[in-house]
Structure 1
Amino acid sequence: MAITSRDQLIAALANSRHGLFDKASISNAVAGRFYSLWRATGQPGQGAIPAAPAACTKGLLGSLTFENQTAPLTNYLAWVDVASSLATSTLEIHDRLCHQAGLVGNVATPQTTNLPLTLAGIEPERIGLADHSQLQWWLEWYADTGSTAVTATVAVTYSDDTSGTVTVPLAATSRAAGLYQLLPAAGKSGIKAVDSVQLSATSGTAGNFGVTCTRYRAGFFTVVANKAEVYDWASLALPQIANDACLALIQLCSTTSTGVSKGVVRFAVG
């Protein structure tokens, strides 16, 4: 079953289930960079640092709460009421598919701790298109690395099973919660695995970072600080939310912190 008419949408919204988020601010951010709110305290609770490669589900602490549906019923992300303590703040909801940590900043040889990270165990409806073009891969920081700016060369496997590398310049002193996106090479639709990471030099401090794979589900923008903005089903494109999706927040920072983010997410069932 799917929502295919206005009447069905109205009925689904009237009986929608609500998920709440209230995330504390993370400091030491940089304007124009993406940051993960996985480790931010608040509601939902602070997600754990993954000690080993793991497929993520809604049962993990850190994921927004919602109820699975029995086919043919499906959850849709139909409404978001959001406010931020920052003006011009961009927030996104992603399905966090899999993650790992344990990489360090003071090693300049190829690192394979907890790698490769693959999509093993993830249901196809969460992955989306078979060419993996709907996925986003990130280097995610859990503890600060050193003050030397270096370059990360990331060995990947593309959707067509060919191998390649993605080069990512890393800022001096990459901070906890920071994200660096891994973009497929020209002509490649998507990445389906990360095999190793090599830094061009030691950053000076071990810290802790890893690899995360997500699928974008919706995004929203707050214009004025501490003023609620409402995004309806049309603004959000009414994305389907697969059972067991691990829904987590990512922020594109506009200043030196992520600010406090609060909101209500309405899940319509159809």
Structure 2
Amino acid sequence: MAEEQSTKKKKKTKVEEEEMSFLDHLEVLRWHLIRAFASVFIFSILAFINKDIIFDKIIMSPKLPGFWTNRMFGKLADLTGADSLRINTSELKLISISMSGQFMTHIWTSIIAGLIIAAPYVIWEFWRFIKPALYDTERQHSIGAVFYMTFLFLTGILFGYYLIVPLSVHFLGSYSISVEVANQINILSYISTVTSITLASGVIFELPVFVYFLSKVGILTPEMMKKYRRHAYVILLILSAIITPPDVFSQIMVCLPLVFLYEVGIVISRRVQKKAKEAMDAI
């Protein structure tokens, strides 16, 4: 009887330790999330204060004729003689249709800007949380993963901002179903388009990272990616056609980096599969 009680006490103590361990992990995660959100909050405040830079120098620039991308397309049109390559030759006028429209736009845009600026730190905090659960070799690789995730995200942001956004603004801002209908673009709609495209580009450029982890758990294989390569190319081409003006050159310019990322994903998946096979053979 005494042995049974002792066994029950030991089991109870073990369960309590496991629960405390789980709660400790939640506490650690909470502080990582707090620091991540704090960084976003701080950068959002800085973006809110520096609204002239955020709006006039960054967000409003892609619709101006003097924007770098628009000028480059103009030079390309001069060289090739294809006037269809000229984009945003006239400035797009924006309007605000609600009393609090500009103020709310200011707040939400500052939050998104804070999220983009704080992204490297947020990724680093995520790595710090999972770091204790990794082996030494995995920690070394994960440090590289943090760098690549940050690099790919920021590269995607720049790609979306300097290429996809000007093309989309030109196409959507100048598209007309009838001469009787004038485009009066709401500022909230314009900024929503710019920010959503930019963030989406940053996420899409994380494709190699997603492929790595999906291959790691066995969901993706290089054979599967090769098998459905044509389907993926068609989807990428359709996506490029949607977000660019109706000319082949612009569609190819947007589609090529996406195809390149897909091919890089195949190489990454093959390397993951090779290492997994070597590890199995070593056992």
TM-score tier (shorter): under 0.3
Q: Greater share of strand residues, 1 or 2? A: 1
Q: Greater share of helix residues, 1 or 2? A: 2
TM-score under structure 1 length normalisation: 0.25
TM-score under structure 2 length normalisation: 0.24
